[in-house]
Amino acid sequence: MLLGVGPDGPIPGRRVAVTGIGAVTCCGLGAAALWDELVHPSISGDRSVPDFDPAAYFGPKDARRVDRFAQFAVAAADEALADAGDLAVDPARAAVVMTTGVGGFHTLAEQVQVYNDRGPRRVSPFLVPMMMANAASAHISMRTGWRGPSETVVTACAAGTHAVGAAARLVASGRCDVALGGGAEASMHPVAVAAFANMTALSTSGESRPFDVRRDGFVVTEGAAGLVLESWDRAVERGAHIYAEVAGAGSTADAHHITAPMPDGSGAVACMEQALFDAQLTAGDIAHINAHGTSTPLNDLAEARAINKVFGEPGPVVTSTKGVTGHGLGAAGAIEAVASVLAIEHRLVPPTHGCEELDPEIHLDVVRGEARPWEPGPVLSNSFGFGGHNGCLILLPPTA
């Protein structure tokens, strides 16, 4: 993992291993449920998380004082930490970087209604700690007792990717030995859905069809994902199962428009190139791309053109897991990082659910129909968000 660029080139840091993963998605609870649906997709319509019981993580009383997005974050973090095994980390050298795009929207909307219907004295005193964007990272740090950095990245749909990259840098720099990076979102409130619909961002068909000629917008979802990251040498020493290595991360801004992507894709191009430089790789090294692939006409085309500029035509094998999961906004990048790790682990690239007829203007090798076996190599995971935020991660198969 590279930390930056000095006058003589990149500044190398410690290697960063992924040793635990967790996910709460519309596919069900757990990373295994996510993978099963990605490989054998059947989902359509509603993308809310099924059968989630927050009392299992907080107890009935405390659960009522934690917004749904933070509940998801804690559940995903619990799974990732259990998966990582006995970390035995110094709490002062362990970090949490958990992100969101919107934060406690459900709580805010409900309490506005309380204010309007019943007056100011009936507004919950827990409104602020429930709605604040940093609630998820705070709850995880309190739950673990970790006293290192506890931070929140809020960069719209690029946030989950930025969080994993930021967590990896804390480990690579030597500031922390272990960090949990991820994202959480629960904004499927009628007001938020109406806002997305009125800006014509949502699919009118209710189907997510990344890169398909019929795509007409994204399908909103909720959920969370988390990845436990630790120094490579530490993971090897304790005999941890290493899923992958975080080799590089990029972050740029379009500086163009509050919602629309840069038409020429230059911001995305710069971000992908920055991630490659960070990982000390060339475009020819990348074997697979987990695309942002939101299923919106403008974003899919802009991303495809940006990929072609960096990698040529058709470039590496591409999938968009949003065909299954829908668009998780601030959680999306973290969910897709977990999906990328699982693609390495299972030696399969999931198909792009909903993509049946590739848009003739899109010149990518998009996996369709069935999962494609592959010899795992470097994976690029892309996330591009409102505000012109761009984030990219590069993950490597584990090697000595």
Query: Coil, helix or strand for 12?
Result: strand
Q: Are strands 9-12 and 317-319 parallel, antiparallel or unpaired?
A: unpaired
Q: Known catalytic residue: 139?
A: no
Look up residue 366 and give its two tokens.
């998009």
Listed residue (132, 134, 143) closest to 94, CA to CA: 143
45-63 core/surface letters (b: 16 or more CB in 10 A; e: else): eebebeebebeebbeeeee
Q: Enter the tokens of residue 92.
A: 């002062």
| Annotated active-site residue in 26, 157, 176, 392 | 157
Residue 390 and residue 271 in contact, taking contact as beta carbons nearer than 8 Å: yes
Token pair in block for residue 74 = 């804690």
Burial of 372 (0-12, 13-18, 19+ CB in 10 A): middle
Query: Minimal CA–CA distance to 350: which of 325, 330, 314?
Result: 325
Query: What does the block give as tokens for 224?
Result: 């969370």
Q: Of 139, 327, 353, 389, which residue is the catalytic one?
A: 327
Radius of gyration (C-alpha) of the chain in whole angstroms: 20
Is residue 353 among the annotated active site residues?
no
Angle at 54 (CA atoms; ends 52, 59), nearest 5 degrees: 150
Q: Based on the residue annotation, tell me whether 157 is a catalytic residue of this protein.
A: yes
One of 139, 292, 353, 389 is an active-site residue; which one? 292
Tokens of 8: 């003589």
Tell me which residues are annotated as active site: 157, 292, 327
